[in-house]
Chain A
Amino acid sequence: MSLIGVQTALGRMVRAGEHADPAQLADLDLFGDERSRMSRVLASRGFRFTARIQRSWCEARAARGARLALSILPPEQRRHLVSEWVDRGGGTNSFFLAEADGFLEFLAQRLPDPSHALSLCQFERAVLRAEAAATTSAALGGACLDDPACMLRSGRHAALVSFFADPDRLLAALEGESALPPLSTTQWPVLVAPGMPGLARPADAAELALWQALDEPSPVAVLQRQGHSRGAIESFLASGAAEPA
């Protein structure tokens, strides 16, 4: 029996877990006795135990990557979303950031928009990305300010997250200090960037406008003509909220 055949069979079935079905091995090049042997392995208590370990590890990896976003959800919805992610093959990456990024992206597509849960999910993902960038990259582009033609865009490792309640009140509520605030029609924008002290802070109206202006690459001169101050652009570049396009 070929090594790749054994490994594909075992790997596929462990990933499938309780949904494992030897029929999923039909495309593998196995002889009749090899197929029977693998079926015996897959029917064993030891295989079911291995699959349960795998499931438990995958669910733990996923949950670890989205503690904040999951914390606001009712336990049943939390379990359902983690379970759906693992059913789709998630939770297998042992590297925290890669696993967390993928799971938070998945969650973001499934949470109501707008909702506190979605804001927290986007914020958690933005902070993880900014934190990772903060350890490996330096802010770029200071010299760009003196070149009016230099093109700037929003930073790849930065984000602007909209909250629909005061973020401090929301976080306090999650820590059990008060009831969750209602979903407001007012937005509280929070800027997240790798070079920012604490990685995040509320964005004021001027910063919100500059962030929106950087949605498309823009020359420094155009940004300044639109009323964005040199100081604001400089601060964005220093924190990684903006970078040369």
Chain B
Amino acid sequence: MTALGIGLPYFQDLPPEIYRGGAVDFVEVTPEVLCRERRGGALDLLPDKLAAARETCGALPIVVHGVELSIGSAHGCNAAYLDLLDRFQASWPFLWHSEHLGFQTIAGGDAHSLNTGVPLPLPATREAAELVADRSAAITQRYGVPFLLENAAHYLPDLPSDPEIGDDVGLMNAIIDRGGCLQLLDLHNVWCNALNHGHDPFAAIDRMRLDRVAEIHIAGGSWHDGFWMDAHDSRVPEPVWDLLEYTLPRVPAVGGVVFEVLEEHLPRLGTDAIVDELTRARAIWQRRGPSRCDRSCH
């Protein structure tokens, strides 16, 4: 994996200077925000939105972070998303792409899918691991670039599981062990789950296949109804920075760190805060990341 550095998602409403001022080494693009859905579910890339995104990103390398694949849906994942990604890759090649480990559609009547309206976690079972691993391998082959799965935040206790898989960390490991994909390690999600389910986030990280982590996400959240929510509505909490410090030296294949925030929270957060988070991430990357290891470990 090429070590790119610090990344930011593409936001059409953010001043383009943020992407061009040296704070960003690569851009994470979500193709779904550049398209519209036709009746019947097909997704059309919108040429004007695509052109605007390319203009903003300039010569920066891009990676893709999808949100609509629903890779874990037992009745079938979203083929329209893959068709969209085919067209997106043909017009704007990316270095790698990622999706969330979970599902957001279930089988409805008349062979239609029903959206759940919110992403949901998979049970930690062998069946889920095999299904996602097989689909991941096919996706890796289809696009010819690495495919990453992101560990999810969720609030559901005691989901069904098989003893040999155990929990959501075990599920991700079981999928990755089958060889079809790499991991996008979302440290905010790790911290979120640790807070809400009462476990140690560092121990969770120690159990992961860190040699297969290719990208890291950091983000912020907020308390709602007694849960720490993966809301992407704030700056990165200190414990997540601590997790980044801890994790970076342990992930030799990591390609970059991306600061995630939801577009609707950008005006309140402000561009100065975003640049601050990117700057802090870069400082940690330079001290603890693979470039540091390249100089001192060989």
Contact = CB atoms under 8 A, between A and B. Distances in A.
Interface in A29-55: 34, 37-38, 40-41, 44-47, 49-50, 52-54
Contact of B106 (A7, A38, A53): A7
B160 A1 contact: yes
B195 interface: no
A40 B39 CA distance: 38
A37 B32 contact: no
Interface stretch (B17-25, B40-48, B88-96, B207-215): B40-48
B173 to A, nearest CB: 18
A115 interface: no
A57 interface: yes
A98 B36 contact: yes
Contacts of B118: 14, 50, 53-54, 57
A41 to B, nearest CB: 6
Given A1-B160, A135-B46, A95 B120 contact: no
Contacts of B72: 3, 7
B156 A12 contact: no
A14 B121 CA distance: 12
B85 to A, nearest CB: 15
Contacts of B46: 135-136
Contacts of A151: none
Interface size classification for chain B: 35 or more
Interface in B136-184: 154-160
A94 B227 CA distance: 24
A37 B160 contact: yes
B260 to A, nearest CB: 16
B270 interface: no
Interface stretch (B109-117, B276-284, B290-298): B109-117
A3 B117 contact: no
B98 interface: no
Interface stretch (A85-93, A116-124, A167-175): A85-93
A106 B73 CA distance: 28
B127 A3 contact: yes
Among B72, B154, B157, which residue has the most Cβ atoms of chain A within 10 A?
B157
A232 interface: no
Given A11-B116, A57-B117, A92-B116, A37 B158 contact: yes
B114 A50 contact: no
Contacts of B128: 3
A6 B44 CA distance: 32
B156 A3 contact: no
B75 interface: yes
A11 B160 contact: no
Given A54-B118, A91-B117, A97 B36 contact: yes
Contacts of B49: 135
B155 A50 contact: yes
A143 interface: no
Contacts of B43: 95
Given A53-B118, A136-B46, A46 B155 contact: yes
Contact of A7 (B74, B157, B158): B74
A125 interface: no
Given A11-B106, A89-B114, A94 B32 contact: yes
A54 B72 CA distance: 19
B83 interface: no
Among B107, B118, B158, B226, which residue has the most Cβ atoms of chain A within 10 A?
B118
Given A54-B116, A57-B118, A91-B117, A41 B73 contact: no
The 10 lowest CB-CB distance pairs between A and B, nearest first, are A11-B106, A92-B115, A92-B117, A95-B37, A46-B155, A4-B74, A54-B118, A98-B37, A3-B74, A11-B116
Interface of A: 1-4, 6-8, 10-12, 14-15, 34, 37-38, 40-41, 44-47, 49-50, 52-54, 57-58, 89, 91-98, 132, 135-136
Given A1-B125, A53-B155, A95-B32, 11 more contacts: A4-B75, A7-B72, A7-B73, A7-B106, A11-B120, A15-B114, A53-B118, A95-B43, A98-B37, A98-B39, A132-B36
7 contacts: A7-B73, A14-B117, A34-B160, A44-B156, A57-B117, A92-B115, A95-B35
